[in-house]
Amino acid sequence: MGKTLLRKVWDQHTVRKLPTGQTQLFIGLHLIHEVTTPQAFDMLRVRGIGVAFPDRTFATTDHIIPTLDQSRPFADPLAEAMLAALESNCAEYGIPFWNLDSDRQGIVHVIGPELGLTQPGMTIACGDSHTSTHGALGAVAFGIGTSQVRDVLASQSLAFDPLKVRRITVDGQLADGVFAKDVILEIIARLGVKGGVGHAYEYGGSAIEAMSIDERLTVCNMSIEGGARVGYVNPDQTTFDYLRGRPFAPQGEAFDRAVSWWRSTASDPNADYDDVVEIPASEIEPRVTWGINPGQSVGVSDTIPATGAGVDEALAFMGLSGGAPIRGTKIDVAFVGSCTNSRLSDLREAARIAKGQRVASHVKALVVPGSQAVLAAAEREGLDQVFRDAGFEWRGAGCSMCLAMNPDRLDGEQVSASSSNRNFKGRQGSPTGRTLLMSPAMVAAAALAGEVVDVRTVMSHV
């Protein structure tokens, strides 16, 4: 039997078998941000340990930064203290840091691929569960906690239990109006929010192979919402074309040598999987969540479930009725952004819907690009003007209302149509706020209509 990408990368990065039975894995790339690292650096100082490979760690700031007024010091002293801590920690240990004044700053999972830091066959760790995103380029990427950030800084390695690999094959062509976001919401709805525990998800099949890297990033991003800590797509020509010329990608002839190694890290055609799941692309329609975890979604032409495990609690929180259509659900806020859907292609899809239209008068709509590079590229194309003309607010780059650690948040029981990744209770900053997850195009369509609509009916007019 052949090997999976996961197995090949695992073997290549194995330091040794630990006395506990776990594997010590070398971490090739470590990405850090302001929220999950200050305590890690403090622990190093207390123990008198240095950073082993400062040139393999890269820092940016994303979670807490305001998207309107970024002047320093921030109005929020707690946010200011966090950014100041990251600044001094990076300076003390010699870690490269793209701060707000850098055109490379942005959401950590957006800038890694964008800069070519993320590459096939790598092991990557970051103190953020959406690190699975980087698997879109064929990396094995782990979300970790703060003590593990400390351990990567100290040793450039981590202790892991072995992972099983579930192959998820999506064959066929996605219909117009059906996006990568809908594919991953469908996968999570089918396999459940804990279906992936103990597994890496390998996404393949003709629908995945036809996707751009941006789309694959969206799919891999939400692996963790299905319980899978790691998700990946085998590297192919799309991957190599994406990486060519990016600042941290190999240049010149080295790039060609890199391609041949990257190609060799892909799963063998006869690879041995622990499990295989097949989902026909034709069965997927635009999806919307109705509940309080990302597994609770339906197709936009479906009704909200009335029975089932956890349904009563979810509907009570969401203020929705079982048996009612999801279409027509009123919204108060529309958010295009987050590490799931804030790349240039996402903004283009949303802008295509918004162009020449007006946001409903009762809706507050904002677009938050994933990085300064995305922001600049979007402005070069005039997307900012399209959004502004339609009544969307155009903001600075960051995580923003995905988790509301900055001033962007829901109030009271507001309902948000959001292109982010989590509809947990209180996730968007109000303990009673309600989140409907959907694709950026669906968010834009909902912003215009003031309620959930089927983007396919809107697209026929654009």
Partner 1 sequence: MSSQIDRIDGPGMPLRGDNIDTDRIIPARFLKAITFDGLGDHVFEDDRAAMPDHPFSNPAYGQAKVLLVNENFGSGSSREHAPQALKRWGIEACVGESFSEIFRGNSLAIGLACVTVSREQVEQLMALVEAAPDTPLALSLRERSLTAGDLRVEIDVDEPVRDALLNGTWDATGMLLDDFDVVRGVAERVPYIRGF
Contact pick of 198, 305, 325, 391 for partner 1 (by CB under 8 A): 198
Choose which of 70, 169, 193, 273 interacts with partner 1 (CB under 8 A): 193
| Residue of 106, 112, 121, 398 that binds partner 1 (CB under 8 A) | 121
The span from the CA of 148 to the CA of 136, in Å, is 23
Nearest to 14, CA basis, from 185, 212, 170, 160: 160
Strand order in the sheet with 140-143: 97-98, 57-60, 29-32, 123-126, 140-143
Looking at residue 100, its amino acid is L
Give the per-residue contact string, 316-355, with partner 1 (x = CB under 8 A; - = no): ----------------------------------------
Two structure tokens written together for 306 = 């009335």
Nearer Cβ to partner 1 (1/46): 46
Stretch binding partner 1 (CB under 8 A), from 75-83, 170-178, 232-240, 446-454? 75-83
Closest CB 344 distance from partner 1, rounded Å: 26
Question: Can you say whether residue 172 is alpha, beta or left, with left for phi > 0 and alpha for psi between -120 and 50 degrees?
Answer: left
Interface of this chain with partner 1, residues 260 to 279, rule: CB under 8 A: 261
Candidates 1, 46, 71, 78; binder of partner 1 (CB under 8 A) is 78
- Does residue 6 touch partner 1 according to CB under 8 A? no
Residues between 394 and 453 that touch partner 1 (CB under 8 A): 403-405, 422, 424-427, 429, 431-432
Residues 6+ apart with CB under 8 A from 316: none
Q: Which of 70, 99, 102, 146 is close enough to bind partner 1 by CB under 8 A?
A: 146
**Does 224 sit near partner 1 (CB under 8 A)?**
yes
* Cβ-based nearer residue to partner 1, 206 or 251: 251
| Residues 35-54 close enough to bind partner 1 by CB under 8 A | 35-36, 38-39, 42, 47, 49, 52-53
Please count the residues of the chain.
Answer: 462
Stretch that binds partner 1, among 140-148, 328-336, 369-377, 437-445 (CB under 8 A): 140-148
What are the residues whose beta carbons fall under 8 Å from the beta carbon of 54, sequence distance 6 or more? 93, 94, 95
Q: How far is CA 456 from the centre of its chain?
A: 24
- Please state, in angstroms and rounded to a whole number, the distance separating the CA atoms of residues 368 and 65: 12
**Minimum separation from the CB atom of position 50 to partner 1 (A):** 11
> Residue 150 interacts with partner 1 (CB under 8 A)?
yes
Task: Determine if 227 is a binding residue for partner 1 (CB under 8 A).
Answer: yes
Least distance from partner 1 to the Cβ atom of residue 172, Å: 30
Cα–Cα separations (whole angstroms), residue 214 to 127, 133, 158, 171, 346: 22, 10, 28, 19, 8
Question: What are the backbone angles phi and psi of residue 30, rounded to the nearest 5°?
Answer: -120, 125
Stretch that binds partner 1, among 231-239, 249-257, 347-355, 374-382 (CB under 8 A): 249-257
**Shortest CA distance to 217 belongs to which of 264, 181, 270?**
181
